[in-house]
Amino acid sequence: MLLANCGKNSEIKVYRVSKAPLEESTPQQQDAMPTNTAAPRMPGAVAPTAATAVTTPPNWEPQPLSQMRQASFLVKGDKGAVADISFVNLGTAAGNALDNVNRWLDQLGQPPITEEKLGDIAQRLRTSLGDVIIVDLAGLPKDADPAQDGRIIAAMATTGNSTLFFKMRGNADLTEAQKGDFIKWVAAVCNAQTEIGLAQTAAIPPRESGLPQIKWKTPESWTEVSPSSMRYASFSASAENGDKIDISVVTFPGEGGSDPDNVNRWRGQIGLPPLDGNAVTSQIAPLRTADATFSTTDIVGAKARTIAAWTRHDGRVWFFKATGPSAAVEKEKPNFVKFIESVRF
């Protein structure tokens, strides 16, 4: 199940929102959120001038932010219906439109689509930041609660050094009812980003003040890439045939989730189904280095492969991950292992 109307009209729809109504603050909208809430109406990445220029509907309840989310809202409807709305700003290595759409389809329990099919269902929102791709996807995962799931409306915009993701997921009818406001909000945020400059959009710098510094020896064949607001560091490696491998270093305070949850998330990113906890554990091997013991896994999909290593140190979790075409990752694996072995906290 995809767009309810995708079979009726295969043309790409173009939205023109030159001045979205949501850009104008009204007293009612300003009073809709308590002044002591921890979550701003706009991503913390956006400068204060932009935050005052863009508001959200009164029924969008701000939620606590995370290192990944720069805006988070919850909308409640009748009979327990809910929809979750988020804004995330990642680097240029966040994947292409088709990869992300197929990842969202997998979250809804639906099969992947082709580039041609994506062209049929993709809509475009024209903003001063550039064209934003919008997709409307439907499907109910097995054993999911239809009051909380069944539809994803997502928007993605790529700039010179960032990829912006807007996503609304929840009850199908409630999500449909909120679609108009969601699109206006996306337009307003993108227009605000242009006004303040993307240089100000990193809400949480990758090497924020107080974040522990670690050292490593970077393989000579790797190219360092500017990290995003989520990544501590990024690298790129190239195979002889031109295939690219994306290498990331990410850190979070705390435990960072369970190993099965993390491994299954990485499996989903390359189109593989989740495994039960015992099966995941059987695919994790230790890697002991001078400073720590890392857990490692090697996940092979039909076309892509991910190798990952992670460790928990001084109250933080550190994830090191390389993803790319299977053959290219296999050739680069020795360099990745040496990279992990060189890490010093």
Q: Give the CATH number of the domain where residue 261 resides.
A: 3.40.1000.10
Is 170 domain-assigned? yes
Is 211 domain-assigned? no
Whole-angstrom Cα distance, residue 60 to residue 56?
7
Which one of 139, 169, 200 terminates a domain?
200
CATH number at 129 reads 2.60.120.1690
Whole-angstrom Cα distance, residue 308 to residue 317?
13
Which one of 169, 200, 231 terminates a domain?
200
pLDDT at 54: 60
pLDDT tier at 231 (50, 70, 90 boundaries)?
A: confident
Is 217 domain-assigned? no
Is 317 domain-assigned? yes
Whole-angstrom Cα distance, residue 56 to residue 97?
26
Within this chain, do residues 177 and 308 fall inside the same structural domain, yes or no?
Answer: no
pLDDT at 295: 96
- The share of the chain scoring above pLDDT 90, in percent, equals 40
150, pLDDT greater than 60? yes
Is 234 domain-assigned? yes
Whole-angstrom Cα distance, residue 322 to residue 308?
6
Within this chain, do residues 186 and 297 fall inside the same structural domain, yes or no?
Answer: no
pLDDT at 333: 96
Whole-angstrom Cα distance, residue 300 to residue 331?
13
Instruction: Give the β-pairing of 60-62 and 69-76.
Output: antiparallel
Within this chain, do residues 186 and 74 fall inside the same structural domain, yes or no?
Answer: yes
Within this chain, do residues 43 and 156 fall inside the same structural domain, yes or no?
Answer: yes
Within this chain, do residues 193 and 256 fall inside the same structural domain, yes or no?
Answer: no
Across 290-294, average pLDDT: 92
Is 45 domain-assigned? yes
Instruction: Give me the helices (H) in the chain, please.
Output: 27-31, 48-53, 97-107, 115-121, 172-196, 259-269, 277-282, 326-341
Within this chain, do residues 79 and 176 fall inside the same structural domain, yes or no?
Answer: yes
pLDDT at 191: 78
Across 126-134, average pLDDT: 83
Within this chain, do residues 193 and 264 fall inside the same structural domain, yes or no?
Answer: no
Within this chain, do residues 63 and 178 fall inside the same structural domain, yes or no?
Answer: yes
Identify the burial level of 285 via C-beta atoms within 10 angstroms of its C-beta, where 0-12 means exposed, 13-18 middle and 19 or more buried: exposed
pLDDT at 291: 87
- Pair of tokens at residue 174: 């409630």
Query: What is the pTM assigned to this prediction?
Result: 0.49
pLDDT at 343: 95
Within this chain, do residues 54 and 177 fall inside the same structural domain, yes or no?
Answer: yes
Within this chain, do residues 165 and 313 fall inside the same structural domain, yes or no?
Answer: no
Whole-angstrom Cα distance, residue 60 to residue 39?
11
pLDDT at 33: 28
Within this chain, do residues 196 and 235 fall inside the same structural domain, yes or no?
Answer: no
What does DSSP assign to residue 12? P
Across 100-121, average pLDDT: 89
Which one of 167, 200, 233 terminates a domain?
200
Across 73-87, average pLDDT: 93
Is 156 domain-assigned? yes
Is 229 domain-assigned? yes
Range of the domain at 280: 223-341
User: Of the ranges 188-202, 207-221, 257-271, which is most confident?
Assistant: 257-271
Place of tokens 């449909």: 176
Across 270-299, average pLDDT: 93
Identify the burial level of 339 via C-beta atoms within 10 angstroms of its C-beta, where 0-12 means exposed, 13-18 middle and 19 or more buried: buried
pLDDT at 229: 57
Within this chain, do residues 231 and 181 fall inside the same structural domain, yes or no?
Answer: no
pLDDT tier at 211 (50, 70, 90 boundaries)?
A: low
pLDDT tier at 125 (50, 70, 90 boundaries)?
A: confident
| Number of domains observed in the structure of the chain | 2
In angstroms, the Cα distances linking 227 to 94, 205, 223, 266, 296 are: 11, 9, 12, 20, 23
